[in-house]
């Protein structure tokens, strides 16, 4: 009798655990779907323009802010080259007004200042005319875009060609070379935690061993302040606040296109 009761309790406990796991998995999937939908809608509103984002009905009768977005022509904006894959800035800016395109081009062409605050990147100069405030906030984690994909797309838009690193270079996954200035190059890797000086120094040594001069890290939780020291001046760290600041310095429509490129599944960025 007691044996049957114990079995029944164990079966009930197991069923509860399975139910909780399934419920948690469904919650995570639902939140991901909501983030994807929210990101699609926000990108659509930015790309369609402010007039279209204020609820003007479309042919389907739905407000245009809820209409399915028309993605930018990513296949035309991203070009394979001999040095790897890169974003064609001319195509990226081709449908922008002349003043906005010129301002964005100046901002994207600014060289990166390697010695940042606590490992965070800055640019060597700021544009004299600020871009309009962008509605695309990455700092709150509400948009469906991966940090590593966004950082790589940002550097591609700034003139870097990207190709895969060889397997033996792990944790380095990508190699970035500036198309016009070969001395500007980075080995890239993604770090899920907070980057420490010891970890940065070890990977920088590996980057130099494969012929790269600098290290670019997409770090989910940033870096210890010591990573920005002179000893590690060749380590560039991009976390969410840093990429958020960078994207907000450019026009919202240009930023939305870079976001769309980062979210696309483009496969390998070039040959090894």
- CB-based contact 219:237 (threshold 8 Å): yes
Chain segment 143-196, per-residue pLDDT in tens = 778 899 999 999 998 889 999 999 999 999 999 998 888 888 999 999 999 999
Chain segment 203-223, per-residue pLDDT in tens = 999 999 999 999 999 999 999
Which of the residue ranges 135-149, 196-210, 248-262 has the most confident prediction, judged by mean pLDDT? Answer: 196-210
Q: Is the pLDDT of residue 135 over 70?
A: no
Q: Is the pLDDT of residue 130 over 90?
A: no
Residue 144 covered by a domain: yes
- CB-based contact 120:237 (threshold 8 Å): yes
Given CA atoms 87, 91, 94, 98 in this order, what sign does their dihedral have? positive
**Number of domains composing the chain:** 2
Q: Is the pLDDT of residue 123 over 50?
A: no
- CB-based contact 161:177 (threshold 8 Å): yes
Residue 161 covered by a domain: yes
- CB-based contact 85:79 (threshold 8 Å): yes
Is the pLDDT higher at 151 or at 21? 151
| One domain, residues 44 and 108 | no
| One domain, residues 54 and 79 | no
Query: What's the predicted TM-score (pTM) here?
Result: 0.70
| One domain, residues 31 and 132 | no
Q: Is the pLDDT of residue 140 over 90?
A: no
| One domain, residues 83 and 28 | no
Share of the chain above pLDDT 90, in %: 25
187 bridge partner residues? 175, 215
CA atoms within 13 A on the CB side of 35: 16
Could you list the residue range(s) of the whole structural domain that residue 25 is in?
A: 2-66
Angle at 247 between CA 242 and CA 253, to 5 degrees: 170
Domain end marker among 66, 83, 115: 66
Q: How far apart, in whole angstroms, are the C-alpha atoms of residue 48 and residue 264?
A: 19
Residue 268 covered by a domain: no
Residue 269 covered by a domain: no
Q: Is the pLDDT of residue 266 over 60?
A: no
* Average pLDDT value over all residues in the chain: 74
Query: Largest alpha-carbon pair distance within the chain?
Result: 84
| One domain, residues 107 and 200 | yes
Query: Average pLDDT, stretch 23-29?
Result: 72
pLDDT for 127 equals 39
Q: Is the pLDDT of residue 38 over 70?
A: no
Q: How far apart, in whole angstroms, are the C-alpha atoms of residue 171 and residue 188?
A: 9
Q: How far apart, in whole angstroms, are the C-alpha atoms of residue 107 and residue 188?
A: 22
Beta-carbon contacts of 86 under 8 Å, excluding residues fewer than 6 positions away, are 78, 79, 156, 159, 160, 161, 162, 179
Q: Is the pLDDT of residue 56 over 50?
A: no
Lookup result for tokens 């407000």: 63
Residue 249: name the closest of 112, 68, 119 by CA: 112
Helix (H) or strand (E) holding 100: helix 98-109
| Domain at 120, CATH number | 3.40.1350.10
Gap between the terminal Cα atoms of the chain: 67
Share of the chain above pLDDT 70, in %: 63
Residue 272 covered by a domain: no
Domain end marker among 66, 93, 113: 66
Q: Is the pLDDT of residue 75 over 50?
A: yes
Query: Average pLDDT, stretch 115-141?
Result: 48
Tokens of 171: 């944790």
Lookup result for tokens 């965070």: 120
């Amino acid at each position: 009798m007691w044996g049957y009761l114990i079995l029944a309790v164990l079966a009930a406990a197991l069923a509860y655990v399975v139910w909780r796991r399934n419920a948690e998995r469904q919650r995570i999937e639902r939140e991901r779907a909501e983030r994807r939908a929210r990101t699609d809608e926000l990108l659509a509103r930015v790309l369609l323009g402010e007039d279209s984002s204020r609820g003007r009905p479309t042919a389907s009768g739905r407000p245009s802010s809820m209409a399915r977005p028309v993605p930018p022509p990513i296949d035309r904006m991203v070009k394979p080259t001999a040095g790897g894959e890169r974003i064609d800035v001319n195509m990226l800016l081709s449908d922008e007004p002349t003043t906005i395109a010129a301002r964005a081009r100046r901002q994207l062409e600014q060289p990166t200042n390697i010695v940042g605050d606590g490992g965070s990147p800055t640019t060597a100069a700021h544009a004299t005319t600020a871009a309009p405030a962008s509605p695309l906030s990455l700092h709150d984690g509400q948009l469906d875009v991966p940090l590593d994909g966004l950082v790589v797309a940002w550097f591609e838009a700034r003139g870097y060609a990207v190709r895969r690193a060889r397997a033996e270079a792990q944790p380095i996954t990508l190699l970035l070379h500036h198309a016009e200035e070969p001395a500007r190059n980075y080995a890239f890797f993604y770090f899920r935690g907070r980057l420490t000086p010891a970890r940065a120094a070890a990977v920088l040594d590996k980057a130099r061993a494969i012929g790269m001069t600098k290290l670019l890290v997409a770090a989910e939780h940033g870096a210890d302040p010591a990573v920005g020291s002179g000893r590690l001046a060749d380590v560039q760290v991009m976390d969410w606040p840093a990429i958020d600041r960078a994207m907000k310095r450019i026009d919202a429509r240009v930023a939305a296109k870079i976001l769309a490129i980062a979210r696309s599944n483009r496969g390998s960025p070039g040959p090894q």
